Amino acid sequence: MRNSEKIRFLVFTTLFGVFWGAAEAFLGSYLHMVHFPFRGALMAGFGASVMCIERFYTPRIGATMATGLAALCVKLISIGGFKLGPVAGILIEGMMVELALSLFGTRRWSLLLACVLCCLEGIPHFFIFNWVVYGQGIFASYMAMIKSIQDFFGLGENLWRYIVLVWIGIHLLIGAAAGLFTIKVAKQLGKYES
């Protein structure tokens, strides 16, 4: 890599990473504070779009991960304080988008795939993170709460399955919307591969 390419790599990955990290620090913290539903999926979709768009400016392996690391550094010093969940999410999302774009390039379908994967990352992230932080008993508490709701409203026993399906569906929709936005930006930039 020539010096000009190294400078371009550092400038664009840092610029886009700081933009994403600032959005995570301010908007993400605000959404968390007001208990906005699906805030993790929304921020994941935003981050995936930023990483995919950055890849058009620095089409090199490692650029997307560098963008994620820059965002992570900004998030670490955010006003809301250090929160392990979002920091781990940023790192995992950076790896997922890096993998998708390194393997499949910047084709329309791979941009869509990268955004959807990022938004779906929140589902296993939720279960693993809650298990680590609160212990195995948290899931029994969730199921007891759902059973109470079922009994109170006289709903069927499989309510939890419908809740999980709707939850996954909304994550898919947010990821698809982020992917379509990214494709639209790519089209305007004239950058994506056929």
**Dihedral sign computed on CA atoms, order 175, 115, 73, 8:** negative
Domain parsing of the chain, residue ranges: 3-130+173-189
> Would you state the pLDDT for residue 145?
80
Task: Please provide the DSSP assignment of 149-176 as one string.
Answer: HHHHHT--TTHHHHHHHHHHHHHHHHHH
Whole-number Cα distances in Å, 70 to 11, 46, 52: 11, 15, 15
Rounded-to-integer distance, Cα 41 and Cα 116, Å = 10
- Tens place of pLDDT per residue across the chain (194 aa): 788 889 999 999 999 999 999 998 889 889 988 999 999 999 999 999 999 999 999 999 999 999 999 999 998 887 666 677 888 889 999 999 999 999 999 999 999 999 999 999 988 888 888 788 788 788 788 778 888 888 887 877 787 788 889 999 999 999 999 999 999 999 998 876 65
Whole-model pTM: value is 0.88
Rounded-to-integer distance, Cα 178 and Cα 48, Å = 8
